[in-house]
Amino acid sequence: MTFPVSLRFKKRPFPFRGPNSSADKKDSFDEIAYDLTALADAINELNNNQSVHEAIFAREYAFSRNSNAASNAETILRDEISSSSTLVMPFSFYRTDGIAFEGDNERHAFHLPMVGTVYPPRNNVLNYFYQKGLLDSQVVVSRDPTVTITEGGDYSAATQTTSDTSNMFNGNNQSYWYRKYAFPPSDDISSISLTITIDVPSVFGTDPNFLVAIPFPGMGLDIDALYDGNADNLVDDSAIENAGPVAFPIISGTTQLKFEITQKNFVEENGMKTFYVGFQEVDLQYVAWDETAISVTPDTTNDNHIILSFFSPEGKDFTALNTIRIDGECERINIEGYKNDVVDTQSTHLLRAQIETDDLISTSLTFDSGVNEIRLTCFLVNDSIVDYLKGIVIDTSITEA
Mean pLDDT, all residues of the chain: 78
Distance from C-alpha of 172 to C-alpha of 113, rounded to nearest angstrom: 19
244 vs 60: CA distance, rounded Å: 9
pLDDT of residue 82: 45
- Can you tell me the distance from the alpha carbon of 24 to that of 19, in angstroms, rounded to the nearest whole number? 5
Query: In this structure, is the dihedral angle defined by the CA atoms of residues 65, 59, 277 and 247, taken in order, positive or negative?
Result: negative
pLDDT tens string 238-276: 789 889 899 988 887 788 899 999 999 888 888 999 999
Tell me if the pTM is above 0.75.
no
Query: Band of the pLDDT at 231, cuts 50, 70, 90?
Result: low
CA 315 distance to own-chain centroid:
36
pLDDT on residue 63 = 47
What are 283's strand-pairing partners? 212
Query: Is 70 exceeded by the pLDDT of residue 169?
Result: yes
Identify the pLDDT of residue 176: 85
**Which residue has better confidence, 7 or 1?**
7
Q: How far is CA 311 from CA 13, 26, 72, 279, in A?
A: 75, 76, 14, 38
* Whole-Å CA distances, 8 to 3, 30, 102: 14, 9, 60
Peptide bond into 4 cis (omega under 30): yes
Predicted confidence at residue 334, as pLDDT, reads 82
Mean pLDDT of 318-334: 86
| Amino acid 5: pLDDT | 55
